[in-house]
Structure 1
Amino acid sequence: MLHRLILATVLSAASLSAFAQNYPARPIQLIIPFAAGGPTDVVARRLAEAMGQNLGVTVVAENKTGAGGTIAADTVARAAPDGYTALIHHTGMSTAPALYKKLRFNPLTDFEYVGQVVDVPMTLVGRKDLPPNNYKELYAYLQANRGKVNLANAGMGAVSQLCGVLFLSRINMMDVTTIPYSGTGPAMTDLQGGQVDLLCDQTTQTTQLIQSGRVKAYGATTKQRLAVLPDLPTLAEQGLDNFEMVVWHGIYLPKGTPKPVVDRLNAALLAGLADPKFKDAMAKLGAIIATPEKASTEGLRTHLKAEVEKWGPVMKAAGVNPE
């Protein structure tokens, strides 16, 4: 019996080694939880191209939207653990347990972790003809027009929703009407068209619109000013205390994916993050590329756990009830 067990273990190890040596042998699917053209989609498609060059196969970016990114995450959690189906997700991976009562996956136990990708600051923007010209004027305007101003977001679980909830709770104006959309694209389209008043979203989506004057910027959600928008004051320096929002992204694989495969994808991630074209594209959009420590398997695992523990109490304090 012991002989058979040892033989089975040796054969299994040999099979795994052969699989890892031949990996990848076909295109890899990178699932994106949000709509095409949105902030996460922009990062994912640039990264897929850079990683594909290192891997020697095509990394196919595919959008699978719905339920704040949980449909995509559940799909990957249930996929074959062979390294050919991966997930790129943002901060919403850590807030899902606080937003959904019947979550079909556990972010902390149902995945293998490849590494973090980029941190993306956010900006609070408004339609270009909104009367206030800075945050202090905006605050006074909101006070004088309680119940008459609306704030768009990209739907439940989207970081624009999270940012909006935090912003309104910090200024104690939860009576501002929130308008959920099916993605960042349509929300931003209506903001530019003047159909909605405000939106809090990632610089990957807002930078060029701010620079071209198509939306009015009220502040960055970071502690320090953004290199890509040096003339835009932070909300903090304009008087909004205890408010910071930076969106982080990570890559995940189904639980049970062999470690050599996880390591190979991690190596491709690190190569992709160092790719000059990718670095240039992210710099233009205001995204901050993860350090090698953050882009490690353990870096993502540790960060995700800390974020899950952080967001639960925050969402509860903001009065957000799980669906």
Structure 2
Amino acid sequence: MSSNQQRRFALLATAVTLTGLMGQSAWAQAYPEKPITMIVPFAAGGPTDTVARIFAQSMTGFLKQQVIVENVGGAGGTLGAARVARSEANGYTIFLHHIGQSTAPALYRKLSYNAADDFTPIGLVADVPMTLVARKDFPAKDLKELVSYVQANKDKITYANAGVGSASHLCGMLLMSAIKADLTTVPYKGTGPAMNDLLGGQVDFMCDQTTNTTGQIKAGKIKAYAVTTKAPVASLPNLPTASAAGLPGFEIAVWHALYGPKNLPKPVADKLQAALQHAVKDPMVKQKLADLGTEPVAPARATPAALDQFLRAEIVKWTRIIKAAGVYAD
């Protein structure tokens, strides 16, 4: 190749690169041009749905396009996850999921997606405490009595959860291990339906996120025994921690995070990341989450790198726990 040909080739390559960069820049400036669908892999009315709708409202204001929450429940959140993994990587389908994203690889022998590699991480969203609650007329007065009563009546007690892989399932699994009692579990297609049956007295107790229980606890519609954090929750000041109330070391928080499909274009991912950064700093988001016993993550955790590192570490941790427990969904 002559020197003139080399120069022409170099100029052509530079022009192509600049055109691509200009195209990406224009795309970033134009995006979003229509509403965005935020998939929540659980039924409406549950705790993850509640968190998603709060963040969707704030992100809508930032992006100047509506972020619409769509509930795609079933199979412990894996149906919704699979739908997002198969969706077009254009930024118009995003995904808000909780800790179940890290437990699915161990719980399900056959997943149609890779939980760590088939999504574009956008950032962590919130850490939500769990609460141990029971039907309003449950006999036990405090957590110590609850543990004793459950151990003595384990064949008669029913424990509700939102399905295999849900936060309530994981909390229940840890609880049964801690108190050495296998209980009859009643799985639902989401925490909302499970809470409805707890309110109606059809099931005895459950472990659920504060975003779903705080209002019911304050209204006196269910009996609360403990919160699963190291320190008491400000919105439930009279509720002791599980460690202080009789279950030393029993702590679990449910983290939530935002993702896009794999290979999301960087300009689009950056725009969504900026919207998430706006949301975790938004006073409206902070107030609404505070009312529900939680708060958004620090901005440093609401980043792609932080989520990617955290998710991979959580997958390793929960794989070890679940395999040791011998619990599988299929």
TM-score, reference length from structure 1: 0.96
- Indicate the residue corresponding to 1:17 in structure 2: 25
In structure 2, stretches of 5+ residues that fail to align are: 1-5
Q: Secondary structure at the match of 1:201?
A: strand
- What's 2:277 paired with? 270
> Following superposition of structure 1 onto structure 2, how do residues 249-260 of structure 1 map, counting pairs within 5 Å?
249-260=256-267
Name which of 162, 166, 171 aligns with 2:179.
171
State the 1:317 CA deviation. 2.0
**Residue in structure 1 matched with residue 235 of structure 2 by the alignment:** 228
Alignment of 1:144-223 (within 5 A): 144-174=152-182, 176-223=183-230
1:54 aligns with 2:78: no
Answer with 90-99 or 231-240: which moved more. Answer: 231-240
SS of match in other structure, 2:34: coil
Structure 2 distance, partners of 1:322, 1:190, is 23
- Aligned counterparts of 1:140 and 1:243: Cα–Cα separation in 2: 16
Structure 1 residue aligned with 2:74:
66
Structure 1 residue 42 corresponds to structure 2 residue 50: yes
Instruction: Give the partner amino acid of 1:178.
Output: T
Deviation at 1:8, TM superposition (A): 4.0
2:37 is paired with a residue whose SS is strand
Amino acid at match of 1:96: A
Deviation track 1:197-230 (CA, whole Å, cap 9, x = no partner) reads 0110000010111111111111111111111111
Letter in 2 for 1:243: F
SS of the equivalent of 2:242 reads coil
C-alpha distance in 2, partners of 1:138/1:73?
36
Match of 1:246 among 253, 256, 261: 253
Helix, strand or coil at the partner of 1:103? coil
For residue 110 of structure 1, what is the aligned residue in structure 2? 118
Distance in 1 between the 2:165 and 2:320 partners?
A: 16
Displacement of 1:6 after TM fit? 5.1
SS of structure 1 residue aligned to 2:207:
strand
Residue in 2 that maps onto 1:31: 39
**Separation (CA, whole Å) in 2 of partners of 1:226 and 1:285:** 9
Structure 1 residue ranges, 4+ long, deviating more than 6 angstroms after superposition: none
> Which whole-Å CA distance do the structure 2 matches of 1:8 and 1:60 have between them?
36
Partner of 2:313: 306
Match of 2:3 in 1: none
**What letter is aligned with 2:323?**
K
- For residues 292 and 273 of structure 1, what CA distance do their matches in structure 2 show? 6
Shift of 1:62: 0.8
CA deviation after TM superposition for structure 1 residue 274, in Å: 2.0
Structure 2 residue identity aligned to 1:265: L
| Cα pair 1:88 1:252 within 8 Å, conserved | yes
2:285 and 2:177 map into 1 onto residues whose CA distance is 36
Contact 1:166 1:318 in 2 (8 A): no
Q: Of the candidates 301, 304, 309, which is equivalent to residue 297 of structure 1?
A: 304
Alpha-carbon distance in 2 for matches of 1:32, 1:143: 35
> C-alpha offsets along residues 265-323 of structure 1, whole Å, 9 cap, x if unaligned?
11111112222222111110012211011111111111111111110111122231241
Q: CA deviation at 1:19?
A: 1.1
- Unpaired runs of 5+ residues, structure 1, are none
The counterpart of 1:319, out of the listed 302, 323, 326, is 326
**Structure 1 residue 249 displacement after superposition:** 0.6
Q: How many matched pairs?
A: 322
Q: 1:33, 1:65 within 8 Å by CA — same for their partners in 2?
A: yes
Spell out, residue by residue over 1:121-153, the C-alpha distance to the aligned partner (whole angstroms, 9 max, x if none).
000101111110111111111222131111110
Partner Cα separation in structure 1 for residue 88 and residue 196 of structure 2 = 38
Q: 1:101 aligns with which of 81, 90, 109?
A: 109
Taking the aligned partners of 2:37 and 2:197, their CA distance within structure 1 comes to 32
Report Cα offsets for 1:228-268 as digits up to 9, x if no partner.
11111111112313321101110001111111211111111
Q: Deviations over 1:1-20 (max 9, x none)?
A: 95565554443333222211
Q: 1:11 to 1:202 in 2, by over 3 A?
A: same
Letter in 2 for 1:184: T
Structure with bigger gyration radius = 2
SS in 2 for 1:236: helix
- TM-score, length-scaled by structure 2: 0.94
CA distance in 2 between partners of 1:142 and 1:61 (Å): 38
Contact residue 58 and residue 282 of structure 2 kept, 8 A: yes
* SS of aligned partner of 1:237: helix
- Whether 1:76 and 2:84 are equivalent positions in the alignment is yes
